[in-house]
Structure 1
Amino acid sequence: MDRSCVNCLKSFLLLLNFLCWLCGAFVVAFGEFQVMNSLFASLVTSFWPIFPANTLLVTGTIVTCVCYLGILGGFKENRCMVITFFVLLFVLMLVELAMACVFLVYSREINTYFEDDLMKSLVSYRDNTPKASKKLRDDFDAVQHLFECCGVNRPSDWGNNVPISCCTKDPCLAANYTIWDEGCVLKLRDWFAHNYRSTGSGVVTMFIIQFICLCISVPLFCHFSREGLGYQ
């Protein structure tokens, strides 16, 4: 392969990996921000991937590590790093596809987990059980206030212990205050669906970049092998 062609492919690989690394670093930072500031972490516990921050954090960390290896391999023209990058990137892409299939095929089961977790949290809050921590109560109050909803499916889920966070006015001073008449589960599902659409578009873009990197790394590895650029 001509040296100018090798330099062109190497530069292109470095650029794409750097862009992918930046995307991964941003995803990690955004995931950390959501973990620290999320109002839903204590309400969804049975199936952690439906909490977007966890998915962003894990995916972003893996992507940054793999892309950093690709940058080093291309820059040092090291075939060992390049082939390791190729294998790890290929496995990462398979995992991304598998996760997409899981969310697509088991979307109903995920919704069931989601609703069951919310109902368990509501029962703990309503009955003031030992599991009803201050964090759980604050999160549920914040969800009802933010999404203007009450209960999981309907306000009657609360029985006679309707919290003041269901009040339609802020501040809520009246003794017999009016409450929101919609449950929170549908509004939260719509909110999560919107977040996953945004996350999904970013993942698709990253997947395309990763596929191009995968295609470029093959001819570069072959060239480095012929030139004996292995483990230096």
Structure 2
Amino acid sequence: MAQGCLKCLKYTMCVANFLCFIGGVSVLSFGIYMTTKFKPVAITTTVPILTFANMLLISGIVITCVSFLGFLGALKENRCLLLTFFLLLFFLMLMQLTAACLLLVYDSKITTEVEKTLKDHLEEAKKPNGNTTEAMMAWDNIQKNFDCCGVRNASDWGDQVPKSCCPDQCVGPQPHYWEKGCLDTLKSWFEDNFLTIGISVIILCIIEVLGMCFSMTLFCHISRSGLGYKL
């Protein structure tokens, strides 16, 4: 009975990690596509390397490597791989909890940094050749999708208000612009989806805890059976 449960646990880990591996490869591929097709736009000016494409690349690499270790460790019943898988999941969970705490503690500073980043990108988009830059394309996408204009309001654009600021593509002698700025709109969107984001983080932590429990159970069984380094 115990052997049957352990075999079930082993193959459950294999299937789950294989699915995670496929997901990681997909995220990594999309990150590579974003890097090659679009010029990276920094999420924050404090850390210029922190772009959406780079975040996808890092996430894809981490998911792929961790899930591969879990899959191979369970399939081969290798104690070293299972222990490495356990430790990586543990550190990932600590990083996620730390990031969540920092978001709560430094909420005002993060808002200030986001506002500064938006203003810097807006100034870049307002340059003479700004209509063809990635910064302008990013602003058009934000303003169209979130029904907002500028950082605080349309006055941030001065005399160069883009058509994406208007519900009707700025038709007429006195075009009507979106009243709300994108900073307030993004804050409202985050607050409206806070519960969904929180539940997603909790589910992710539960999956990681289950992965750690499964890997440690197999680790202990392999240690008792004397197959710690079987390949």
Task: Name the TM-score class by shorter chain.
Answer: 0.7 to 0.9
Q: Counterpart in 2 of 1:109?
A: 109
Distance in 1 (CA, whole Å) between partners of 2:13 and 2:80 is 16
Matched to 1:223, the amino acid is H
What's the TM-score, normalizing by structure 1?
Answer: 0.77
Q: Counterpart in 2 of 1:211?
A: 209
Distance in 1 (CA, whole Å) between partners of 2:35 and 2:146 is 19
More divergent stretch after superposition (222-231 vs 50-59): 50-59
- Please list every run of 5 or more consecutive structure 1 residues that lacks an aligned counterpart in the other structure: none
1:78 and 1:230 in contact (8 A); partners too: yes
- Is it true that 1:183 corresponds to 2:181 in the alignment? yes
Matched to 2:95, the amino acid is V
Q: Counterpart in 1 of 2:133?
A: 134
Q: Counterpart in 1 of 2:92?
A: 92
Q: Counterpart in 1 of 2:224?
A: 226
Matched to 1:65, the amino acid is C
2:166 and 2:178 in contact (8 A); partners too: yes
Distance in 2 (CA, whole Å) between partners of 1:194 and 1:54 is 26
- Please list every run of 5 or more consecutive structure 2 residues that lacks an aligned counterpart in the other structure: none
1:82 and 1:217 in contact (8 A); partners too: yes
- Is it true that 1:9 corresponds to 2:36 in the alignment? no
- Is it true that 1:64 corresponds to 2:60 in the alignment? no
The alignment-based identity, stated in percent, is 40
Structure 1 residue 200, shift from structure 2 partner: 4.7
Distance in 2 (CA, whole Å) between partners of 1:156 and 1:43 is 24
What's the TM-score, normalizing by structure 2?
Answer: 0.77
1:168 and 1:179 in contact (8 A); partners too: yes
Matched to 1:219, the amino acid is T
Structure 1 residue 158, shift from structure 2 partner: 2.8
Superimposed CA distance per residue, residues 49-97 of structure 1 (whole angstroms, 9 cap, x where no aligned partner): 9976654543343122112111111111111211222222222222222
Q: Counterpart in 1 of 2:149?
A: 150
Distance in 1 (CA, whole Å) between partners of 2:91 and 2:11 is 24
Structure 1 residue 226, shift from structure 2 partner: 2.8
Q: 1:89–1:163: structure 2 CA closer, same or farther, 3 Å change rule?
A: closer
Report the count of equivalent residues: 229
Superimposed CA distance per residue, residues 209-231 of structure 1 (whole angstroms, 9 cap, x where no aligned partner): 22112112223212212323233
Distance in 2 (CA, whole Å) between partners of 1:62 and 1:144 is 32
Q: 1:15–1:139: structure 2 CA closer, same or farther, 3 Å change rule?
A: closer
